[in-house]
Structure formats: C-alpha cells, structure tokens
A = this chain, B = another copy of it.
Amino acid sequence: MARIQDVAEKAGVGVATVSRMLNGSGYVSAASRAKIQAAMDELNYTPNELARNLYHKRTGIIAVVVPTIAHPFYAEFVNCAEMEIHRRGFKTMLCNASSGYAEELEYLDMLNRHIVDGVISGTHTMDTEAYNKIKKPIVSLDRYLGEDIPLVAVDHVKGGRLAAQALLQSGCRRVLHFRGETTVEAPYHDRHFEFSRIMRENGVEVYDYELAWNRFDVEYHQQVVDDVFSSGLEFDGVFGVDQLAAICMNELLRRGRRIPEDVKLVGYDGTYISRLSRIPMTTVVQPIDALARESVRLILDCMAGKQAKNERVMLDVSLRQGETTLPV
C-alpha cells in the first residue's frame, strides 16, 4: 500500500507539504495541490484516518447511547439520528446500555479516550455524577443529566393532558396507568403527573403500575401484563407506551373484552406499533425525527465549542386518534 512518502516523492514535494494538504493545516500552492492529487490518484493512496484524527484530536464519530434499539421508539430515534449524523459528515457509534450502569460509564469514558467526539445519551442512568464530571460534548435525550448538559425532549405535560382527555371523553372511570420508574430524574415523568392529576381531579380512579428500571423488551412488557391480569384488577381504561398498550390490547381481546366498548386504550410515542396493532391505537405522538435532528444539531454545536449549555429544546406532541378510544 502506498505511503505518504511515496506520494511526496512522486509529486516532487516534501512530506510536510502533503501532510499540510491532507490535514488542511497550512498553505499549499495550487500547483503543488494538483501534483499531489495526481500522485495520490495514480498510487491509489488512501490517507490513514487514524493518523489524521490523531493530528486533529478528533475522530468524526458521535456515540448514540440508548437503552435498547429492540424497543421501537429507540430504533426510530437512532435510525433518524444516524441519517442526520451522516448527512452532517459524521459517523454513528451505537451503544445499547440496557445491561446497566457499568456499560454506560464505559461509553462515557470513550469521550476521555478520544474514541468519540460527542455523546447523545438517552439512557436511564440513576447516577448523573459521571456526566457532570466530564467536561466534554454531551447532549441528553429526555433526561435531566445536569445544569451544563443540553436537553432535548417533548412537552410531556401536554402529552399527559392529551392522554387524560382522550380517556375522559371516552367515559373511563377506573384507569390503569403504566408509569416509569420514579427514581430516574427525567422530563417524561411530567406526563405521568399531569395524567394522574387531571384524572383524579375528574373523580377517576387511577391505578399506578410502576415499571421496572431500564426494561423495554417485549418479554418484560408481557410479564407486566400477565401480572396485571392475574391480580384481578378491574379497569376500563389503559395508558402506557405503545408497545405495552399493544400487548395489553392483545390480552384484553384474548379474554373476550371489547375495545373500545369495554376498555379504552391510549398509547404513547406514536411508533409504528400503534399503527400495526390489532386495533389501530389512539396514541400521543412524539416527533421522533425532530427529536433526533435537534439532538444532532446540539451535539454538533457543543463539539464546535458553541455555548449550548443551557439549551432546553422542548418539542410539541399531538394526539393521533385511533379506534381504541371513542371518537371525539
């Protein structure tokens, strides 16, 4: 394989000149540029990106850390983020942090070790200290990581309100409410507070079911649904993320309950699960592509040294009416 020395020799210039051109690190005359380019083409020379990155102290790689892309919300988010990162000339390192905190710290450490230039983190860590100690580009997806770390999330208060209204207008009196683990500090809890507040204000009984930390897989959601039904709980409304709501729907139908006549359901996220489910689901739609684009914009700003510390991007949500609630 051709080396930089070979290129310099063939072009009749010094190695330092070739290096300046490759790294964009100083003046190279148009004539020399043309000769170097011709020599590189002829020798089929490919610059060693590792060496170049060492010079620039950057890798061109952005890590996207999520609990698991087996969950459709994160699959769609990472898909959109990867496309946007690519469009902006960078590459995506994918990190599933579902097995816990040690893994997450390891990914964070990649910033220190110059493996990645920035991290977009959508994990559900309970310890934010590590995120705050590290003074490198980090953007948070829907999670309070610290004062200095920019955040992208949706308006979950509105999300909770839309879900509550859909179930109230359908006449629900006793609702099952699947909510996230409460020790994680995150914007998404707002939807749960708002949902419960409005329901209780309207005299509706709310059964809160708190989900286990960091579990997003179909198997766990199936366990949760089995648990609910074996408890003998009676309810006429359900609110939870699309995947969980879809599994709940299947179990209700299996038991001969009619939807929406006997039980109403409202999902959250607006993933394709809500469109492919046994009955098209009424759901609160998060703009996943916009969440991804904004996350990428912010991390690139951070990497460019722009002051983005206090940025809190809050995107709008909307209700998509399906057939699991009564028509408004």
Q: Which residues of B contact A277 (CB under 8 A)?
A: 276-278
Tell me whether A170 is interfacial, beta carbon within 8 Å: no
Please determine whether A49 and B247 come into contact, CB atoms closer than 8 angstroms: no
* A contact residues, range: 35 or more
Shortest Cβ distance from residue A223 to the other chain B in the assembled complex, whole angstroms: 14
Query: Given contacts A48-B113, A69-B69, is CB(A82)–CB(B94) below 8 Å?
Result: yes
Identify which of A53-61, A143-151, A156-164, A305-313 touches chain B.
Answer: A53-61
A54 to B92, CA, bound (A): 20
What mask results when residues 91 to 121 of chain A are scored 1 for a CB within 8 Å of chain B, else 0? 1111110110001000001101111000000
Please determine whether B70 and A76 come into contact, CB atoms closer than 8 angstroms: yes
A277 to B112, CA, bound (A): 44
Query: Given contacts A49-B115, A115-B49, is CB(A93)–CB(B96) below 8 Å?
Result: no
| Tally of this chain's copies | 2
Shortest Cβ distance from residue A217 to the other chain B in the assembled complex, whole angstroms: 9
Tell me whether A13 is interfacial, beta carbon within 8 Å: no
Q: Which residues of B contact A47 (CB under 8 A)?
A: 113
Please determine whether A75 and B70 come into contact, CB atoms closer than 8 angstroms: yes
Partner of A94, one of B68, B93, B113: B93
Please determine whether A86 and B69 come into contact, CB atoms closer than 8 angstroms: no
Please determine whether B86 and A50 come into contact, CB atoms closer than 8 angstroms: no
A94 to B51, CA, bound (A): 22
Q: Which residues of B contact A61 (CB under 8 A)?
A: 93, 115
Using a CB-CB cutoff of 8 Å, which residues 44-90 of chain A contact chain B?
A: 46-51, 53-54, 57, 59-61, 64, 68-70, 72, 75-76, 78-79, 82-83, 86
